[in-house]
Amino acid sequence: MPDRDIFQAILAAHDASEPVVLATVVRTRGAVPRRAGTHMLIYEDGRFLGTIGGGEMERRVIQEARNAIETGAGSLFAYDFVDPEAGDVGVCGGTMEVYVEPLLPEPTVVVIGCGHVGKAVATLAKWAGFRVVVADDRAEFCNPDFIPDADVYLPVPTADMHTHIPKNRWTYIAALTRGSQVDQELLPPLLDSPVPYIGCIGSRRRWAVTAQALRERGVTEAQLARVHSPIGLELNAETPEEIAVSIVAEIIMVMRGGTGERMKMELPPAPEKRKG
């Protein structure tokens, strides 16, 4: 397969927020199936494009690639082609080194609801380095004129949003909708997805009403527990911009494994000056 096809597939995976791994033969010695510089692209489900030699060696590389998606770290592996009974991958007689490089999706904030807070969250999330997707069933709010900082605009019905937005381990969903009825329609298809964060705006009472309605639709307690609502960190925020800081801060906390605690430390007393 031409390298051009593999590189085009990498771009397509990037645009679809799909993790892939590029396996590259970086060094060879002796008789081996492929030369240095050969590429192979591996998907999370084990699908692949191209080949770096096939057989047992390629099977092991595919497994290492799937592990690399989990860890996010690239690794170099050496495979001997001498004695399969001793654990080698073939009998050609040489050695092949393969670098396995995960190409992971950009961390993405999906803003559902493009009102004042949604607009502020989209702007701040983009400034913080996230890829930003905005969605709303009102096209007049979900467009580059109203929110110029987004990467993707999804002016689609609420019931269909889950089919359009990325839903993977690199997706952070902020549901900033205009009411509980919208949330009741929006949330159920999202609650079994692998996203690490689903936040829902509103007061404690609004979330209590929404949660009860979702229970009546068959949503479980474990699913409800995934939702961060009221959304954000407690900053006593009031303006849309202040609320956006609270929400984006919580997303960063979840992404980085933070605690949200204040970091201010108490200094020890100053040492007493020695007399004399």
Express each pLDDT in 138-193 by its tens digit.
Answer: 999 999 999 998 999 999 999 999 999 989 999 999 999 999 999 999 999 999 99
Q: What is residue 276's predicted lDDT score, i.e. its pLDDT? A: 58
Indicate the CATH number for domain 108-256.
3.40.50.720
- pLDDT of res. 17: 87
The answer for residues whose C-beta is within 8 angstroms of residue 218's C-beta and 6 or more apart is none
For residue 274, is pLDDT > 80? no
Which part of the chain is CATH 3.40.50.720? Answer: 108-256
Instruction: Using pLDDT thresholds of 50, 70 and 90, give the confidence band for residue 37.
Output: very high
What tens digit of pLDDT does each residue of 62-103 get?
Answer: 999 999 999 999 999 999 888 787 887 778 888 989 999 999
3-state secondary structure of 170: coil
Strands 20-29 vs 39-43: parallel, antiparallel or unpaired: antiparallel
160 in Cβ contact with 9 (< 8 Å):
no
Q: What is the pTM of this model?
A: 0.84
In angstroms, the CA 41 to CA 4 distance is 12
Identity (one letter) of the amino acid at 42? I
Task: Tell me the two tokens of residue 22.
Answer: 């590029």
Q: Quickly tell me which residue has 């559902």 as its tokens.
A: 112
In the chain, % helix, strand, coil (3-state, to 5) comes to 35, 20, 45
Instruction: Give one DSSP letter per residue of 122-139, joined into a string.
Output: HHHHHHTT-EEEEE-S-T
Lowest mean pLDDT, pick from 82-86, 258-262, 264-268: 82-86
Tens-place pLDDT, residues 112-122: 999 999 999 99
Distance set, CA 105 to CA 82, 91, 131, 211 (Å): 38, 38, 9, 31
